[in-house]
């Protein structure tokens, strides 16, 4: 009862050290240059917006099988175990001790006893003891605050892994489909140049063209074949990367929607609020690191003050265990102790300064993380807008290159131009086709970067402490 009263008495005592407050934001109110939106663009499962079942399956599989996800989950378990320890330290510890002894004596004092009549004594002891630190200065409460922030930060760390992993998987998938589309385009180019070489040979045999045309056509065909092999090599490398991301090294990637058929998420509207970066898991994790560092200042500061503890025990000692249990030979005590570091040569004060310096570092890291998050969103918005605006020009370039090749081939077959003009037109068309594919990939990639930069791909923790349910990858 005394321990309970003491606990209630100190519950209202103010804890030493600063109470955490989020630093003010120096970011502008909105991102510049956007043309839509709000929170609606931040979808927990944004990869489903592309309507590709293969992509959706790969991201979901990565979020459940990747080794980094398991590592982050293990870190959560570790920090929550530390939190449980910190909370347990705020309650009394109760111990039960028991002992049993039997002594056989062959003499009483200096008088020896007959060997047939020794003195035998039995002793049974059972003691229930407890100890409790009176948290006058809030050391234990601040330690609990720090552990709670660290546990919540580890949950946000899971979100960091989830957003990064979902983004990396989607980017690799789009790169794979882009390389496939480029390889298909080059395969068509190889077929066309095989036809051009055959035509040049027939024209040379008929005396209409020179051997130079044949040599140029053969060189162009060989060059296209080299490019095609290189694209196929790059595709194999990206496929290996994807297989590792989803936790299935060596597995092949199933066919999916073609790059040109993949829908593009809408460009976000003007006035996209800068506050959206606050939902990013890395920003929240950095803030929890700062909150923990702030609480640890109080832990260090409290060590400069005296520590008060209460101890008590209740038990009994008798020759028979039944008598001990029934209350015979009962003993008990209640005590208090104080520990005060009178002289420590400035050690505890130095620990406080150390904790304050670490909090300053955490504040700087938090500020840098927020600013980096803002820059990444702004960069992704600008990149997406530029790729979107380039779409019409890229398409016009492709149409013009096709028409130029058609006209050049007619002129060549009619004898009005040499094969070099045809070769230049083919190269121009090949470059335009690859540029069109790459621009499509750039638009998809920049949309992924925007979703990732805005913190899509994870769910916010729920509950008053933010620990029980925690942040989870949106694919789970």
138-153: per-residue pLDDT in tens? 999 999 999 999 999 9
In 206-320, alpha helices (H)? 211-245, 281-302
What pLDDT score was predicted for residue 366? 94
**Which of the residue ranges 262-266, 347-351, 398-402 would you say has the lowest mean pLDDT?**
262-266
**Which of the residue ranges 212-216, 303-307, 310-314 would you say has the lowest mean pLDDT?**
310-314
Residues 349-394 pLDDT 10s: 999 999 999 999 999 999 999 999 989 988 888 888 888 888 889 9
CB atoms near residue 42 (< 10 Å): 18
* Report for 15-24, 95-104, 166-175: range of highest mean pLDDT: 166-175
- Per the prediction, the chain carries an average pLDDT of 83
- DSSP classification of residue 365: H
C-alpha span between 89 and 269 (Å, rounded): 51
**Which of the residue ranges 111-115, 129-133, 298-302, 417-421 would you say has the lowest mean pLDDT?**
111-115
Task: Assign 8 a pLDDT band (cuts: 50, 70, 90).
Answer: very low
What pLDDT score was predicted for residue 284? 92
Check whether 68 has a pLDDT greater than 50. Answer: yes
What pLDDT score was predicted for residue 470? 43
What pLDDT score was predicted for residue 3? 45
Of 14, 301, 297, nearest in space to 136 by CA: 14
What pLDDT score was predicted for residue 230? 96
What pLDDT score was predicted for residue 36? 42
Check whether 124 has a pLDDT greater than 90. Answer: no
Check whether 109 has a pLDDT greater than 70. Answer: no
Do 257 and 56 form a contact (C-beta atoms < 8 A)? no
What pLDDT score was predicted for residue 326? 59
Do 14 and 135 form a contact (C-beta atoms < 8 A)? no
What pLDDT score was predicted for residue 342? 82
Backbone angles phi, psi at 90, to 5 degrees: -85, -5
Check whether 345 has a pLDDT greater than 70. Answer: yes
Distances (CA, A) of 166 to 77, 79, 287, 376: 22, 24, 23, 16
Do 122 and 55 form a contact (C-beta atoms < 8 A)? no
Check whether 135 has a pLDDT greater than 60. Answer: yes
Task: Assign 466 a pLDDT band (cuts: 50, 70, 90).
Answer: very low
3-state secondary structure of 207: coil
Q: Which residue has the higher pLDDT, 118 or 132?
A: 132
Residues 20-30 pLDDT 10s: 888 887 776 66
Check whether 473 has a pLDDT greater than 80. Answer: no
Q: Quick one: what percent of the chain has pLDDT higher than 90?
A: 43
HEC sequence for 72-112: HHHHHHHHHHHHHHHHHCCCCEEEEEEEEEEEEECEECCEE
Task: Assign 244 a pLDDT band (cuts: 50, 70, 90).
Answer: very high
Domain ranges of the chain: 13-91+137-304+347-473
Q: Write 197-201 long-range contacts (CB < 8 A, 24+).
A: 197/221, 199/413, 200/419
CB atoms near residue 274 (< 10 Å): 17
What pLDDT score was predicted for residue 35? 43
Q: What is the mean pLDDT of residues 446-475?
A: 65
What pLDDT score was predicted for residue 332? 76
Q: Which CATH superfamily is domain 13-91+137-304+347-473 in?
A: Outer membrane efflux proteins (OEP) (1.20.1600.10)
Check whether 13 has a pLDDT greater than 90. Answer: no
Check whether 252 has a pLDDT greater than 70. Answer: yes
Do 157 and 466 form a contact (C-beta atoms < 8 A)? no
Check whether 469 has a pLDDT greater than 50. Answer: no
3-state secondary structure of 180: helix
Residues 214-235 pLDDT 10s: 898 899 999 999 999 999 999 9
Task: Assign 34 a pLDDT band (cuts: 50, 70, 90).
Answer: very low
C-alpha span between 371 and 366 (Å, rounded): 9
C-alpha span between 288 and 293 (Å, rounded): 8
C-alpha span between 282 and 167 (Å, rounded): 14
């Amino acid at each position: 009862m005394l321990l309970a009263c003491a606990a209630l008495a100190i519950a209202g005592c103010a804890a030493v050290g600063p109470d955490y407050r989020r630093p003010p934001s120096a970011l502008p109110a909105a991102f510049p240059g956007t043309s839509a939106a709000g929170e609606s663009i931040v979808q927990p499962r944004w990869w489903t917006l592309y309507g590709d079942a293969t992509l959706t399956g790969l991201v979901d599989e990565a979020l459940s099988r990747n080794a980094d996800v398991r590592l982050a989950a293990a870190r959560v378990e570790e920090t929550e175990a530390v939190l449980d320890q910190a909370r347990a330290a705020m309650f009394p510890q109760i111990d039960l001790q028991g002992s049993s002894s039997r002594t056989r004596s062959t003499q009483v004092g200096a008088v020896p006893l007959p060997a047939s009549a020794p003195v035998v004594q039995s002793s049974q002891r059972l003691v229930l003891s407890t100890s409790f630190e009176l948290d006058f200065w809030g050391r234990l409460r601040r330690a609990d605050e720090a552990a709670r922030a660290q546990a919540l930060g580890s949950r946000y760390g899971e979100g960091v892994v989830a957003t990064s992993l979902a983004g990396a998987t989607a980017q690799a998938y789009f790169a794979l489909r882009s390389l496939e589309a480029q390889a298909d385009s080059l395969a068509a180019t190889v077929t066309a140049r095989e036809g051009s070489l055959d035509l040049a040979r027939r024209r040379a045999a008929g005396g209409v063209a020179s051997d130079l045309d044949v040599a140029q056509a053969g060189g162009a065909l060989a060059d296209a074949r080299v490019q095609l092999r290189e694209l196929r090599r790059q595709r194999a490398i990206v496929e290996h990367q994807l297989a590792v991301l989803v936790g299935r090294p060596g597995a092949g990637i199933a066919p999916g929607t073609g790059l040109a058929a993949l829908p593009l998420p809408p460009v976000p509207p003007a006035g996209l609020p800068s506050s959206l970066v606050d939902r990013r898991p890395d920003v929240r994790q950095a803030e929890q690191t700062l909150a923990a560092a702030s609480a640890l200042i109080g832990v260090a500061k409290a060590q400069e003050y005296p520590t008060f503890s209460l101890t008590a025990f209740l038990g009994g000692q008798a020759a028979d265990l039944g008598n001990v249990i029934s209350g015979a030979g009962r003993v008990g005590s209640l005590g208090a102790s104080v520990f005060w570091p009178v002289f420590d040569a400035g050690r505890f004060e130095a620990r406080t300064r150390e904790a304050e310096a670490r909090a300053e570092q955490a504040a700087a890291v938090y500020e840098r993380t927020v600013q980096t998050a803002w820059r990444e969103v702004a960069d992704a918005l600008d990149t997406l807008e530029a790729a979107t605006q380039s779409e019409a020009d890229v398409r016009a370039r492709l149409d013009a290159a096709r028409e130029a090749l058609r006209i050049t081939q007619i002129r060549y077959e009619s004898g009005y131009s040499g094969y070099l003009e045809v070769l230049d037109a083919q190269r121009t068309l090949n470059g335009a086709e690859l540029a069109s594919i790459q621009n499509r990939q750039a638009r998809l990639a920049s949309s992924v970067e925007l979703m990732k930069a805005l913190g899509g791909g994870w769910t916010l923790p729920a509950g008053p402490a933010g620990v029980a349910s925690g942040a989870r990858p949106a694919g789970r």
